[in-house]
Amino acid sequence: MRNLRQFMVLIMTASLVTLTSCSSDDDGGGPGNAPSGVLVAKVDGTSYQSMEISSSATIANGGQNLVIIASNSDGNAFSFTIWGYEGVGTYDIDGSVISNVNVASYTETDVDLNNPQNSTTEIWQAPYDNSAVGFLKVSEETDTKLVGTFQFTCKNLNGDQSVKTITEGSFNLGKQILD
């Protein structure tokens, strides 16, 4: 009986040390690897980098909403809308939430220079069903910039129903505030 008690004390102590030493994801995680002013990611394994001139993070509605928009010269873009924004932290992209669903999208525009009316735009949206499909983590916020990481899967709901996987996403964007 004494050995059992000692064993239980050992297990409880080890569990307590393990649980208290784990880092929390609530702090927004690491900063990622995006250069200053841009958003980077892999779209189905292909590298993407936005242009600084067309990339920004906007905090709106009295600081309650975050909108990130980033595009590149190929006509491809990312967009995020985070409802209930509270600064540094993790924001789930989850379709099972009933109200204020955080959303992300990836867009590809193919411009036909010979006949601009034949240009096409395809949009992959997340979430696309009642499940969690990714996250956006804000790891740093200053008066002038917002830094963080993201990943998600998205679906072309109005097109061919294809799914794209967005990985290794990070941003280091200039920040503006709209009230």
**Got the DSSP string for 138-164?**
EEEE-SSEEEEEEEEEEE-TTTT--EE
Total-model pTM: 0.82
Does 11 map to a domain?
A: no
Cβ neighbours around 83 below 10 Å, total: 15
Residue-range definition of the domain harbouring residue 168:
25-177
Alpha carbons within 13 angstroms on the beta-carbon side of residue 106 total 28
Does 72 map to a domain?
A: yes
64-123: pLDDT as tens digits: 999 999 999 999 999 999 999 999 999 999 999 888 899 999 999 998 889 989 999 999
Structurally, the chain folds into a number of domains equal to 1
SS (H, E, C) 57-77: EEEECCCCEEEEEEECCCCEE
Does 110 map to a domain?
A: yes
Does 10 map to a domain?
A: no
Does 12 map to a domain?
A: no
Does 153 map to a domain?
A: yes
Least confident range from 2-6, 39-43, 113-117, 154-158: namely 2-6
